[in-house]
Amino acid sequence: MRAVVQRVSEARVSVSGQVVGQIGAGLVILVCAMPDDTAETARALAAKIAKMRILADPDGKMNLSLLQTGGGALVVSQFTLAADTRRGNRPGFSAAAPPDLGRALYREFAAALRALGMPTETGRFGADMQVSLTNDGPITIWLDSDG
């Protein structure tokens, strides 16, 4: 799986003008499943992100994890993280998992965060979503699991 993690002071995702998920301080996590990913891959990536020490401590240093702060997670599916831009001007997305697998692993990833006790909101898989956020820092980190 691939993920882009952004530390935010607030974020929301809307579909057709209606807010379907929103958080205050925490992390926006854009995720993309790859064809060889499994439920274990999704759970392992969720655990890694939950423990990443990228949130500010009382001294303003990146020293706390989402698990420690109790902040929220807003999980948004984004198959475009699998973009292949090596040839031409139009990205290819064949490296992304097929939709049924992608949906299942997206749900597994969000469920794994919830199972860790994190308040977790989601977008809507496969929908045309509008994501609005205030990046805090800015802190943006890209992760790629080994499948």
Instruction: Indicate the pTM of the whole model.
Output: 0.95
DSSP 130: E
Please give the pLDDT value at position 146. Answer: 67
Residue reference for tokens 């702060």: 69
Q: How far is CA 82 from the centre of its chain?
A: 14
Q: Which residues are catalytic?
A: 78-80
Radius of gyration of the chain (CA): 15
CATH class of 2-137: alpha beta
pLDDT tens profile 27-68 = 999 999 999 999 999 999 999 999 999 999 999 999 999 999
Measuring CA to CA, which residue among 105, 121, 138, 99 is closest to residue 15? 121
Strands 2-15 and 26-32, bridge-based pairing: antiparallel
State how far the Cα of 130 lies from the Cα of 12, in Å rounded to an integer.
8
Domain boundaries, the chain: 2-137
**pLDDT of the chain along its 147 residues, tens only?**
999 999 999 999 999 999 999 999 999 999 999 999 999 999 999 999 999 999 999 999 999 999 999 999 999 999 999 999 999 899 999 899 999 999 999 999 999 999 999 999 999 999 999 999 999 999 999 999 864
Residue 145: per-residue pLDDT: 84
Residue 39 one-letter amino acid = A
d(CA 24, CA 32): 23
